[in-house]
Amino acid sequence: MPSIMVSLKENASPDQLADAKKKITDQGGKITNEFTLIKGFSAELPEGQASILSSNEHLNVENDGEVKTQ
Q: Break the chain into its structural domains and give their ranges.
A: 3-47
pLDDT in tens, 1-60: 788 999 999 888 889 999 999 999 998 999 999 998 889 999 998 887 777 787 888 998
Question: pTM score, two decimals?
Answer: 0.81
Burial of 23 (C-beta count, 10 Å sphere; 0-12/13-18/19+): middle
Determine which helix (DSSP H) or strand (DSSP E) holds 28, and give its type and residue range: none
pLDDT on residue 56: 84
Residue 67 has pLDDT above 80, yes or no: no
d(CA 29, CA 22): 9
